[in-house]
Chain A
């Protein structure tokens, strides 16, 4: 019944308009109204986004829920939306996470509440817009506009070095994106429209492909982030308020990876094939080196930020390993597994990193410190919380049975089909990852009660327990039964691979 509705537009614009309404509630005197309204809008958006899954035809590889109307005739830009099996789960992840983030900020944010809440709602709509856009100009508009609310969120409600962090975040991303803009303009001028799907079939010479690939790489690598342009992420994460960190880690990083799938691979397949050594090396550096960097962190948020970079390395590894597999044998099942593993890892990392940041947020709200050294023996005073945190840490380390295992395992398996050493290096992280996560858990949660502050801690309240248990269910569900996710994305991934394996020269 929902197929005729402009569902995607609704999912994009409900939170944006809702955010405007929340802004209109004004000063902090109406903080409660602002919060309730925000929660209502966030839940409504989540509910509206559900039919995207229930009504989704898993047999089709083409775009579904398509909307296409002319927007700017002068440049042949259309307001063209649609989702396939790759973008649809990410939209659900966005609506789901935003709901939790609104709840997470419920008691913590005390100043300019309406602006805080509105920023997250508007950001939600814009991020969904990025996933749903099928027109490059529409994509770019959402992609850039999204920076504005995040810039404000980190800058106003962030930590002591928030201004440095937020300007660095903005400029880094802006830097990467403008080159993508030029690449998109080039494609649009040559092909005559801004349609992404037309770009996919548009023939390009190898030199143009390589330049365009590099332009895309600058934009997406900053966002993912890949080594060596990852340095904004630890700063932004550490300074951002909990909600900002969660959105950054759970969704914004996925946008970069999504960009590789939607733009780099299908538009410049030959360049991607030629330069895959670069992508694989950068991914492996992220996986191994950043993993060791995480081991050395004293600050919990920084540690999780570095672990995010390391985990995102798996995603890009999975995406770009396909060429090495294709060169070895004609059977594409390994390549399909690589990409699918990458996507599963994206979704799972969304849940796990979000949950980890929320856990740190729970402790930070009580102790106002993120230093590992300030903690110790938290399990004695917060047993329920400790149980959750241990679960999420295990998932972060890739324990079988949690969603963290599925994606990493798939990527490592497909890496074996390409080259033993790739797989070996990637698999090392399972050890390093376990080391830094569990070592942090040991120092923070276990042992004797470290100081009076820890002794005075109170366990999580109902609101916090609700947020964490929802996430815990998600992590376990996709860990034990990832089939629904894989089923949805399978035709789209195969279709993507067909495009990628066809030379454009």
Chain B
């Protein structure tokens, strides 16, 4: 038998993160409470170096390796860099929060890095098995992270729900994959795409697609498979919610794109209508139910659901331009989500969780600068120009209109008007209400700088969105 050592170079970032995660796991054993900061610094350094490695070996043309199960391409690289950056931001925002609550443990960082690794594998997957592998690594790390606050009943409940529903979703996904394997005879995405197009009887394929979509919808949190989202967002420690709400969305987008466009792009007619239904329900439920929330974490959870609906709008077109619009949307959403959850962490203090909407009351009088940052983030989420969120919405809507689905674009904007209300309510609470708390608002200097940068990016990319938009289009067209 002729055994060849595969080319490992395309997977260099993954190998680096894996090695570092193991090193940090071991190193942390020898650290005591006082010098746990080393774990934090090491994790951050890992992410920074990972950015450098990925940038240094950046190439837009796809490279396949490991018997074509793994692909390195421009889309993946851009998404990975976004994931490192998002995770870096999460670790920084979360540090003081975790310290105040006795959760500042090595596990947070190790699990975080393993989740990052899972996302990277998911992004680079070119085979059903790789997708499943990456997805499970990501999900299991997240289940454990949610449960990290083990004395908190609500966190344990959230972790349990997340785990059980996540496991069911994985089962559905696998079932769908097995059916598609059955009719196409392959696990390789490119082969599946070819074979699926030639099938004369598509019945089993359609069944497979339905199960596959259920699995994807579960992982993305699209209605009607969204039940876990608000509970997990609410129950998890805010630092973990911050993580779940940001970087994994990039990976989820990649999974959606790999499966539906790379794998099943040739049979778009079989899944387009189902996806449209998921989109409309997500937009409706996400936006309408968010209005009734008093807990800001739950509100943002429902807002996530509606953003997932918008995000899928680009993919539903099936065009390259549409996928690039979705990719832009995902990156934009990650940036906004980081900022908003970051603000919740910022307002929380030792022994106090700023989880209720009313905790934002009169923020403008307590700290005009932070109130302004939150205003930028909320208007951006609502899709009001000139902020980033507007261009994200505009780009997906434009692609939807370009494939003559004007009615879908109209339906989406109608729901976004409903959505505008609850973002406006946050601004109303910050600007028009009198403050109840008088404690000064503040945080460590590095967090203050980063969260300011975070919101300013939302504004600046909103004013000059061209480079990011063009980059997304370039990498999607090249693959």
Using a CB–CB cutoff of 8 Å, the interface residues on chain A facing chain B are: 26, 71-75, 112, 115, 137, 140-141, 144-145, 147-148, 151-152, 155-156, 162-163, 166-167, 170-171, 174-175, 178-179, 181-182, 185-186, 188-189
Q: Which 7 residue pairs spanning A and B have beta carbons closest together?
A: A178-B413, A74-B469, A141-B385, A155-B432, A72-B466, A185-B401, A189-B402
Does the CB pair B401–A186 fall under 8 Å? yes
Tell me the nearest residue of chain B to A208, going by C-beta.
B406
| 18 further contact pairs, Cβ within 8 A, besides A74-B469, A144-B390, A148-B379 | A72-B465, A73-B466, A75-B394, A145-B385, A145-B386, A151-B427, A152-B431, A155-B431, A156-B432, A162-B432, A167-B425, A167-B428, A170-B424, A178-B414, A182-B409, A182-B410, A185-B394, A185-B397
Q: Does B238 contact A (CB under 8 A)?
A: no
Q: Is B470 an interface residue, CB under 8 A from the partner?
A: yes
Q: Are B470 and A170 in contact (CB under 8 A)?
A: no
Q: Return the CB mask of B386-413 against A: 1 if under 8 Å, else 0.
A: 1000110011011001100010011001
Is there a chain A Cβ closer than 8 Å to B11's Cβ? no
Distance between A211 CB and nearest chain B CB, rounded to angstroms: 8
Q: Tell me the bound Cα distance from A398 to B397 in angstroms.
A: 46
Cβ-defined contact, B470 with A73, below 8 A: yes
* Residues from chain B with Cβ under 8 Å of A182 in the complex: 397, 401, 406, 409-410, 413
Report 28 cross-chain contacts, Cβ distance below 8 Å, ordered by A residue.
Answer: A71-B466, A72-B465, A72-B469, A74-B395, A74-B465, A75-B398, A137-B394, A144-B384, A144-B385, A145-B384, A148-B384, A152-B431, A156-B364, A166-B432, A170-B420, A171-B424, A174-B417, A174-B420, A178-B413, A178-B417, A179-B413, A182-B397, A182-B406, A185-B398, A185-B409, A186-B406, A189-B401, A189-B402
Q: Which residues of A contact B47 (CB under 8 A)?
A: none
Q: Check if A188 sits within 8 Å of B398, measured CB to CB.
A: yes
Residue of A nearest to B397 (CB): A185
Instruction: Confirm or deny: B473 has a beta carbon within 8 angstroms of a beta carbon on chain A.
Output: yes
- B368 interface residue (CB < 8 Å to A): yes
Shortest CB distance A399–B (Å)? 40
**Hey, which chain B residues are within 8 Å of A179, CB to CB?**
410, 413
Return B143 CB to nearest CB of chain A, in Å: 39
Cross-chain contact B470 with A74 (CB below 8 angstroms): yes
Nearest CB of A to B325, in Å: 10
Are A156 and B431 in contact, CB atoms less than 8 angstroms apart? Answer: yes
CA distance A151 to B427 in the complex (A): 10
Number of residues from B at the complex interface, CB < 8 A: 34
What A residues does B409 contact at CB under 8 A?
182, 185
With a cutoff of 8 Å between Cβ atoms, the chain A residues found around residue B466 in the complex are 71-74
| Minimum CB distance partner of A26 in chain B | B368
Complex CA distance for A282 and B238, rounded to whole angstroms: 52
Q: Confirm or deny: B303 has a beta carbon within 8 angstroms of a beta carbon on chain A.
A: no
For A178, give the chain B residue with the smallest CB separation. Answer: B413
Q: A151 near B424 (CB under 8 angstroms)? A: yes
B303 shortest CB reach to chain A, Å = 16
Establish whether residues A171 and B417, one from each chain, have CB atoms under 8 Å apart when the complex forms.
yes
A174 to B131: give the CA distance in the assembly, Å: 41
Residues of A within 8 A of B385 (CB): 140-141, 144-145
Most B CB contacts (10 A, CB to CB) among A26, A73, A115, A141 go to A141
Is B420 touching A189 in the complex (CB atoms < 8 A)? no
- Report A-chain residues with C-beta under 8 Å of the C-beta of B368: 26, 115
Within 8 Å CB of B364, what residues of A?
112, 115, 156
Q: Which residues of B contact A141 (CB under 8 A)?
A: 385-386, 390
Q: Is B246 part of the binding interface, using a Cβ–Cβ cutoff of 8 Å?
A: no
B416 at the interface (CB under 8 A from A): yes
Cα A145 to Cα B462 with chains together (Å): 12
Complex-state Cα separation, A309 to B431, whole angstroms: 30
Q: Are A189 and B398 in contact (CB under 8 A)?
A: yes
Whether B16 is near chain A, meaning CB under 8 Å from some CB there, is no
List chain A residues, Cβ under 8 A from B427.
151
Q: Is B421 an interface residue (CB 8 A)?
A: yes
A100 nearest CB across to chain B (Å): 26
Q: In the complex, what residues of A have CB within 8 A of residue B413's CB?
A: 178-179, 181-182
* B428, A171: Cβ atoms closer than 8 Å: no
Give Cα A156–Cα B365 distance, bound, in whole angstroms.
11
| A75 and B469 contact, CB distance less than 8 A | yes
Interchain CB contact under 8 A, B386 and A163? no
- The residue on B at minimum CB distance from A186 is B401
Does B397 contact A181, Cβ atoms closer than 8 Å? yes
- Kindly identify, within residues 47 to 67 of chain B, every residue whose CB is under 8 Å from any CB belonging to chain A: none
Tell me the complex Cα distance, A298–B395, Å.
48
- Asked if A171 contacts B398 (CB within 8 A), the reply is no
Which listed residue (A112, A167, A175, A185) contacts B417, Cβ 8 A? A175
Which partner residue on chain A sits nearest B372 by CB separation? Answer: A23
A115 to chain B: closest residue by CB: B368
Are A167 and B470 in contact, CB atoms less than 8 angstroms apart?
A: no
Q: How far is the CA of A308 from the CA of B96 in the complex (A)?
A: 55
